[in-house]
Amino acid sequence: MTYDLSVPAQLMSALTPDLVLMGGAMVLLLVAAWGKETEGHARLVGILSVALCVITGALVVWMAASGATATRGMIAVDNFRWATDLIVLVATIITIVMAIDYSRVERLIIPEAHVLVLLASSGMMLLAAARDLVMVFLGIELMSIAVYVLAGLDRRNARSAEAALKYFLLGAFSTGFLLYGMALLYGAAGSTDLAVIGSKVTGAAITRSPMLLAGIALLLVGFGFKVAAVPFHMWTPDVYEGAPTPVTAYMAVAVKAAAFAAFLRVWVESFGGAAAAWHAALWWLAVVTMVVGNVVALAQRSVKRMLAYSSIAHAGYLLVAVVVNSTLGTSAFIFYLVSYMLATMGAFAVVMVVGEPGERNQELRDFAGLWRVRPWLATAMAVFMLALLGFPIAGGMGFFAKWYVIQAALGAYQPQTRLAVVVVLASVVSAGYYLAVVMYMFMRPRAEDAPAPRRIGLGTGLVIGAATVALLVFGIYPTGFVRIATHSRPSIAAAPSGPPLTSASDR
Amino acid sequence: MHAFLTQIGYDAWVLPALLIIPLVGAALLLVQGALASDDGTLAAAPSARWIAFVVFTLEFLVSIGLWWSFDPATTAWQARVTTSWIPDWGARFDVGIDGISLFMILLTTFLMPLAVLGSWTSIRDKVRTYYALLLILTTGMLGVFMSLDMLLFYVMWEIMLVPMYFIIGVWGGERRIYASLKFFIYTMVGSLLMLVAILYLWQVTKNPVTGQPSFAYDDMVAHAAVYSRAALWLFGAFFLAFAVKVPMFPFHTWLPDAHVEAPTAGSVILAGIMLKLGTYGFLRFAMPLFPGAATTPWVRTTILTLAVIGIIYGALVAMVQPDFKKLVAYSSVSHLGFVMLGIFALTLQSVQGALMVMINHGISTGALFLLIGMIYERRHTRMLDAYGGIARVVPMFAVLLTLVSLSSIGLPGTNGFVGEFLVLLGSFKTHPWFAFFAATGVIFAAAYLLWAIQRILFNRLDKPENEHIPDLNRREVAIMAALAAMIIWIGIYPAPILTRMEASANKFVTDVQAGAPRAPGLVMGGRR
């Protein structure tokens, strides 16, 4: 059906999954507050939260399957939104499952934490749907404020508090940029609607209106902060390292995915017509992010911090999908996110298992000889590392994700051969640190005084196993996901995908 | 035999079966490991090596039928099997063989059971995983040799890397971690640029029926045979990937480390099979895809020069090695130089010779590494100085080492002679000076190997610890007997092999020459 978004009732039904998640989160907040702060109660809230996510996910699938569309309005009803929603929801479920085990081991019993994750996720779902700058801002704030609190969840730990404060200050700062950019855009275009802005933003308009250009630039800075692109990444390593591991995983995957989804939609729908104005800036942003993220990751000794830099590098690969400004780019983006989510979530889960309790054992040397004592855990971690590296079969989907991004770069209206070469060279650099983890796990002997790893919690074990199996299976037969990704495009794509490359000219 | 093979529909299932059998074997080993309560050491799990050996023998028996079912008269793909894989991207599971890949497949399936027997007692730790990795590796290597779809080829090409990385890194010698990482990174740099090139080709390749992008090898060859500035870059990307693997001078520096640090079976596979993947890549992909770029005079001269430098440099460096394994590793650089010379000389004889050297090097060098492994298990050293005069102590070992060394030198009557002679004969027609300098490599080869066996086997028996080395046992004699039989058979009667490869080699030469740039003006005339 087609929702008429100017009718409030129909707007509400177009927002059903989002409203269910928000409403459910409110109810769960009350449930959480009513019980004693015991482990059992926290687990109950966690399980209810997972159930709520599953219900929301089912609604998303149902709406996607019904093929609903909408008239132009505040929100989008398209497959791009549904795909992003599902990625966010799966990441949320994994986070909560990890957090249940984490809070048991770390004696960090806070039932409300699960509800905060749900609230952040509902902000992310708004971001995925937003087709209006005001909605984008609303989504970002809803998401960020919950995550600020989550980062500082471990009050006993100074580093966690530092992470929260740092994230809050820099996050607020970047929101300022974003808001100022939106204001300037509104001033120049006379509307906050992405499609209206899109009709005003053309190459000619940019040269006439410095306000428009300044608005785009400020928006780029704001999104750059949120997705942790170099040089706006300074907060990332400290925040990721200090926050409790499940929250780090959540930030590295869900926050990044949602921010990127909004980034991509704004760029494709509003600024697609003026690619010449921002192409060079975004191109260099992607290149610098890939290079700096990968090179600095090489120097890390802590696996958690290394994964933080790795997530910066992956923001660079994802930026390539934005740079190409085509529908192929958005498909590659969705496919990449799925693979990145499975591998990164899985890797953080392994770090959590090895590092507990007290998150003390997260150095590379703590992984030495892991294969000898926990062969399957080590094998799963090796799969995650190879997936992030983009290796075929053994790294499963990771290979096809990189492949898809390179394909988008080469198939763009203006083929980005050099960008594709940077992607693969950056991947070679990343082999240095991903393989270091594999090398420590399989080829170094276990330290004499190394503590025996704890038993893996049922939930975390399931998460690690499921992520590994999914990566491997879809790495051999990716067709299903390719189809989903192909159909997950914003309903209004301003830029034509362009004819495939026919000339042999090398750019 | 042929009638029997037709009756069981051999051609319709043999290639997929060859890919699946090792994977089933690997799964069997992992299941066995999950069920058993032992710690996976050799004492606790002696059955692991038997499972691997039986699976590899079965694999060999299945593959040997190709020898009879192969039709030498045609250049079309044989035993072809193709099914849908990723329709949205025009990628198919598409395998088939011709006279070039036939022998690479047979060489692989022949060497693998021997490699297992070679690690029979030397691998004592985590034996199940070790043999499972060997099995997975086999699937990857065979996959490369039979892929007719570029995406499938690339996936198989990369997948080989992981098992070999672990085999060197976990079961290797003292500097294994360094060697395995170097091996991985070198190979990966080359392959990833090839990935970009493949995707670039994919964008210009259209399936003739549907008009969709296609990864099919035949479609790509039909579309990419153009001479342009891009073709040179694309050829460069393929060249890098394959030149590292061959390895060509100066991309060879990973090889001595990897060969020396790898366990015996690892060295046998690296030298015997994996190096051929590089030269096979030139024969199958780099040259037929970009005949214009590959035969551009300056490109061709550069590659021929590097090949001849490799022949002489490898031989000279081999001569001064104190470590026998390192000596053999450098001799590989030299032998593979002959292969590259034969391929780029582009005559029927030289290409057939190159193929023969590929087969012979697999057999002879594989045999040398196995012999080194056997003596190392007894004396725990590979230094040439540590031996001397052991011919009297271990006569069987001495006989076999002499025979294998002579075949590696290229003595007439052994397999080594046939290949190198054909390469020199063929390349002399088009590039006499390169052939001349390459021929000196044969002399150097005689020098370093004869000198080495003199120092090991003959000289004076002056070290007391060498006086009581046990001679080869029955298992070891059986391994070497199989290899010695091949050495002598190919040396005396290579005709059946040459007939089977002739049509495909001829097609390769004509196709590449047909795509060569005709007007010299085009060569420098790139745009911009």
pLDDT digit string (tens) for chain A, length 507 residues: 788 888 888 888 889 999 999 999 999 999 998 888 888 899 999 999 999 999 999 999 999 988 888 888 888 888 899 999 999 999 999 999 999 988 888 888 888 899 999 999 999 999 999 999 999 999 999 999 999 999 988 888 888 889 999 999 999 989 999 999 999 999 988 889 988 888 888 777 777 788 888 999 999 999 999 999 988 988 999 999 989 999 999 999 999 999 999 999 999 888 888 888 888 899 999 999 999 999 999 999 899 999 999 999 999 999 998 888 888 888 999 999 999 999 999 999 999 988 867 777 788 888 888 888 888 899 999 999 999 998 888 888 999 999 899 988 988 777 788 898 899 899 989 999 999 999 999 988 888 777 777 788 888 999 999 999 999 999 888 888 888 888 888 875 434 433 333 333 333
- Within 8 A by CB and 6+ apart from B184, the residues are A431, A435, B161, B165
Sign for the pseudo-dihedral over CA of B415, B420, B423, B424: negative
Distance of alpha carbon A483 from alpha carbon A480, whole angstroms:
5
- Name which of B139, B203, B235 to mutate to probe chain A: the one with the most chain A Cβ atoms within 10 A of its Cβ: B203
Closest residue by Cα to residue A438 from B33, B124, B168: B168
A503, burial (CB in 10 Å: exposed 0-12, middle 13-18, buried 19+): exposed
Task: Specify whether the CB–CB gap between A353 and A323 falls below 8 A.
Answer: no
Distance of alpha carbon B278 from alpha carbon B307, whole angstroms:
13
Distance of alpha carbon A200 from alpha carbon A183, whole angstroms:
15
Minimum distance, in Å, between the CA of residue A431 and any CA atom of chain B: 7
Q: Kindly give the interhelix angle for B99-118 and B495-514, rounded to the nearest 10 degrees.
A: 130
- pTM score, whole prediction: 0.90
Minimum-distance CB partner of B192 among A394, A428, A504: A428
Residue B87 forms contact with A (CB below 8 Å) = yes
Minimum-distance CB partner of A410 among B166, B180, B200: B200
Distance of alpha carbon A410 from alpha carbon A472, whole angstroms:
26
CB distance B199–A502 less than 8 Å? no
CB distance A427–B192 less than 8 Å? yes
Closest residue by Cα to residue B329 from B309, B342, B314, B316: B314
Task: Specify whether the CB–CB gap between A110 and A103 falls below 8 A.
Answer: yes
Closest residue by Cα to residue B138 from B61, B8, B25, B264: B25
Across the A/B interface, how many CB contacts are shorter than 8 Å? 94
Minimum distance, in Å, between the CA of residue A216 and any CA atom of chain B: 32
Minimum distance, in Å, between the CA of residue B76 and any CA atom of chain A: 29
Residue of A nearest to B172 (CA): A443
Q: Provide Rg for chain A, Cα atoms.
A: 22
**What angle (nearest 5°) sits at the alpha carbon of residue B211, between those of residues B208 and B214?**
75
Sign for the pseudo-dihedral over CA of A207, A209, A210, A211: negative
Residue reference for tokens 């170094």: A444
Residues forming a β-bridge with A363: A302
Q: Provide Rg for chain B, Cα atoms.
A: 23
pLDDT digit string (tens) for chain B, length 528 residues: 778 888 888 888 899 999 999 999 999 988 887 777 667 777 767 788 889 999 999 999 999 999 988 888 888 898 899 998 888 888 889 999 998 999 999 999 999 999 999 888 888 888 888 999 999 999 999 999 999 999 999 999 988 889 999 999 989 888 888 999 999 989 888 888 898 888 888 887 777 677 777 888 888 887 765 556 788 888 999 999 999 988 888 888 899 899 889 998 899 999 989 999 999 999 999 888 888 888 888 999 999 999 999 999 999 999 999 999 999 999 999 999 999 999 999 999 999 999 999 999 999 999 999 999 998 888 888 888 888 888 888 889 999 999 999 999 888 888 888 889 999 999 998 889 999 999 888 888 889 999 998 888 888 888 888 888 888 888 999 999 999 999 999 999 999 999 999 999 999 998 888 877 654 434 333 333
Minimum-distance CB partner of B203 among A410, A435, A486: A410
CB distance B204–A482 less than 8 Å? no
* CB < 8 Å to B90, chain A: none
CB distance B226–A504 less than 8 Å? yes
Minimum-distance CB partner of B203 among A392, A425, A500: A500
Peptide bond into B250 cis (omega under 30): yes
Q: Can you tell me whether residue B81 is helix, strand or coil?
A: strand
Cβ under 8 Å to A: B residues 325-344: none
Q: Which residues of A466-499 are buried (b: 16+ CB within 10 A; e: fewer)?
A: bbbebbbebbeebeebbebbbebbbebbbbebbe
Q: Can you tell me whether residue B83 is helix, strand or coil?
A: strand
Residue B192 forms contact with A (CB below 8 Å) = yes
Retrieve residue A193's tokens: 């609607």
Residue of B nearest to A433 (CA): B181
CB distance A435–B196 less than 8 Å? no
What's the pLDDT score for residue A492? 59
Distance of alpha carbon B462 from alpha carbon B55, whole angstroms:
44
What 8-state DSSP symbol labels residue A324? T
Q: Can you tell me whether residue A220 is helix, strand or coil?
A: helix
Task: Specify whether the CB–CB gap between B334 and B371 falls below 8 A.
Answer: no
What is the tens place of the pLDDT at every residue in A118-168?
999 999 999 999 999 999 999 999 999 999 999 988 888 888 889 999 999
CB distance B185–A407 less than 8 Å? no
Residue B189 forms contact with A (CB below 8 Å) = yes
Minimum distance, in Å, between the CA of residue A188 and any CA atom of chain B: 40
Distance of alpha carbon A425 from alpha carbon A288, whole angstroms:
13
* CB < 8 Å to A505, chain B: 229-230, 527
Minimum-distance CB partner of A393 among B155, B169, B229: B155
CB distance B192–A478 less than 8 Å? no
Cβ under 8 Å to A: B residues 284-323: none
Residue B178 forms contact with A (CB below 8 Å) = no
Amino acid at A35: G
What's the pLDDT score for residue B36? 75
* CB < 8 Å to B178, chain A: none
What's the pLDDT score for residue B281? 92
What's the pLDDT score for residue B227? 54
Write the CA distances from B421 to B266, B404, B438, integer angstroms.
29, 18, 11
Residue B20 forms contact with A (CB below 8 Å) = no
What's the pLDDT score for residue A388? 94
Minimum-distance CB partner of B199 among A386, A391, A407: A407
Residue B233 forms contact with A (CB below 8 Å) = yes
Retrieve residue B21's tokens: 């059998």
Minimum-distance CB partner of A501 among B195, B204, B228: B204
Minimum distance, in Å, between the CA of residue A278 and any CA atom of chain B: 25
Q: Which residues of A lie inside 8 Å of B (Cβ-Cβ)?
A: 386, 391-394, 399, 403, 406-407, 410-411, 415, 417, 420-421, 424-425, 427-428, 431-432, 435, 439, 442-444, 477-479, 482-483, 486, 500-502, 504-506
Minimum distance, in Å, between the CA of residue B173 and any CA atom of chain A: 11
- Name which of B38, B144, B152, B162 to mutate to probe chain A: the one with the most chain A Cβ atoms within 10 A of its Cβ: B162
* CB < 8 Å to B196, chain A: 406, 410, 417, 420-421, 424
Helix, strand, coil: what percent of chain B each, to 5? 75, 5, 20
Write the CA distances from A347 to A41, A82, A442, B77, integer angstroms.
28, 25, 16, 44
CB distance B203–A411 less than 8 Å? yes
Provide the phi-psi class of B153: left if phi over 0, else alpha when psi is between -120 and 50, else beta: alpha
Minimum distance, in Å, between the CA of residue A497 and any CA atom of chain B: 14
Retrieve residue B479's tokens: 């391994």
Distance of alpha carbon A152 from alpha carbon A429, whole angstroms:
33
Residue B188 forms contact with A (CB below 8 Å) = yes
